[in-house]
Amino acid sequence: MESLKLLEKINQSSALSPSEIETLLQEELQDKSFCNIFNINPENGREKINNRLDLLGKSYHLIAQYCHDLGFNTLDIMSFMWKLLLPLAVQLSQEKSQQKSPLIQGILGGQGTGKTTLSKVLCLILKQLEYTTITISIDDFYKTYSERQKLREIDPRLIWRGPPGTHDIELGIKILNQLKYPNHLSPISIPRFDKSLWNGQGDRKEPEMINKKPDIILFEGCFLGVQPINETQFHDAPLPIKTEEDRQFAKDINEKLKAYLPLWEKLDRLIILYPKDYRFSKQWRKEAEQKMILSGKTGMDDQEVEDFVNYFWKALHPELFITPLAQNPTLVDLVITIDNNHHPQQVDSHLKLTKD
């Protein structure tokens, strides 16, 4: 693509000519879905391209350092920024400008989809646009270690933290309300979760104190915004849901999911990071654990990862819960399809139904 050559030229600190800017615009106009999502047309396109080039210049080096540390090469970073991060950050800033209260942007993504990276880089870009942004994970609203131990005594099936039922929903609603409608005289105590405590079972650590009202809150999680489904869908459920015990567990988790709906109502928008194949996440988790072991940290072996991921698929199977949500234009604002290399491949307003 010609745009990649031009981005490489920008990386070499060379300014683009008017004809090269026109080339960038014409290439973007060919992607009707992208242009529709980010409101780009022949009339405003040159201005938007020039504004994006300016923002790229201001934020590139900050983001490049962070992304290089994660193993991205320079061209990947430039492409990632140009085709997704910069227009998305501008879109969020415009959404925020249309409301007085902070914007709460939900980000749904499973293991390896890049939700933490997306949140971090958006914060860096939005700072260049003079917006104060904070990130919160649904993990920060886990019940305490002792509370989860009591839960497990009641229901031994809750062997891992993570499924619906292991979070303090009232705490989550309280914190989002405080951020949305802050008392200017009082700092806000944001709970933070440390996964390394209690031999990896995790617990809350010292909270983070927020003294300044944020403009934008990036709220991310592995099942953020997911809706309960009709129980009949468990009758012919995909693997690894295969036994009657598996089906009952899925039904019980589905029932617990209803309690999260008031929390989801706090979201102003929802982005889904959607792997082309949900099974990518199992390999991604194995790779992540292997890296941890090689670095001298404690990590799961391949069989433990299999058991771990299968447990969550039994609780909230992606085909049953994530795909229908991604296809629902009334519940989702943006779906970013991720390839097996963790790279964004396509951006849509919602996932389009495809015929087999």
Do 41 and 110 lie in one domain? The reply is: no
CATH number at residue 158: 3.40.50.300
Do 293 and 254 lie in one domain? The reply is: yes
Do 135 and 225 lie in one domain? The reply is: yes
Across residues 214-227, what is the average pLDDT?
97
Do 259 and 179 lie in one domain? The reply is: yes
Look at residues 82, 112, 141 and tell me which one is the last residue of a structural domain. 82
- Whether pLDDT at 11 is above 80: no
- Pairwise pLDDT comparison (8 vs 220), residue with the higher score: 220
Domain assignment present for residue 88? The answer is: no
Over residues 254-310, the pLDDT tens digits come to 999 999 999 999 999 999 999 999 999 999 988 888 887 888 877 788 998 899 899
Query: How much of the chain exceeds pLDDT 70, in percent?
Result: 96
- How many other CB atoms sit within 10 Å of the CB of residue 70? 12
Look at residues 27, 54, 82 and tell me which one is the last residue of a structural domain. 82
Do 121 and 237 lie in one domain? The reply is: yes
Cα torsion 179, 181, 184, 186 to 10°: value is -60
Look at residues 82, 116, 150 and tell me which one is the last residue of a structural domain. 82
Domain assignment present for residue 132? The answer is: yes
Do 163 and 289 lie in one domain? The reply is: yes
In DSSP notation, 220-280 reads EETTTTPPP--GGGGTTPPTT--SHHHHHHHHHHHHHHGGGHHHHTT-SEEEEEEESSTTH
**What's CA 228's distance to the chain center, in Å?**
20
Domain assignment present for residue 92? The answer is: no
Domain assignment present for residue 199? The answer is: yes
What distance in Å separates the CA atoms of residue 107 and residue 125, rounded to the nearest whole number?
A: 17
Domain assignment present for residue 180? The answer is: yes
Domain count for the chain? 2
For residue 332, give the nearest of 87, 11, 51, 106 by alpha carbon. 106
Mean pLDDT of the chain: 91
Domain assignment present for residue 354? The answer is: no
Domain assignment present for residue 310? The answer is: yes
Q: Which pLDDT does position 12 carry in this prediction?
A: 64
Do 76 and 114 lie in one domain? The reply is: no
- Whether pLDDT at 356 is above 50: no
- Pairwise pLDDT comparison (83 vs 70), residue with the higher score: 83
- Whether pLDDT at 206 is above 50: yes
Do 163 and 238 lie in one domain? The reply is: yes
Q: Which pLDDT does position 1 carry in this prediction?
A: 58
Do 280 and 153 lie in one domain? The reply is: yes
Across residues 240-260, what is the average pLDDT?
97
- How many other CB atoms sit within 10 Å of the CB of residue 46? 14
CB 194 within 8 A of CB 203: yes
3-class SS of residue 113:
coil
pTM for the predicted model, two decimal places: 0.94
Do 120 and 37 lie in one domain? The reply is: no
Query: Cα angle vertex 53, ends 51, 56, to 5°?
Result: 110
**Owning domain of residue 253:** 102-348
For residue 195, give the nearest of 153, 150, 137 by alpha carbon. 137
- Whether pLDDT at 152 is above 60: yes
Do 279 and 228 lie in one domain? The reply is: yes
Do 190 and 127 lie in one domain? The reply is: yes
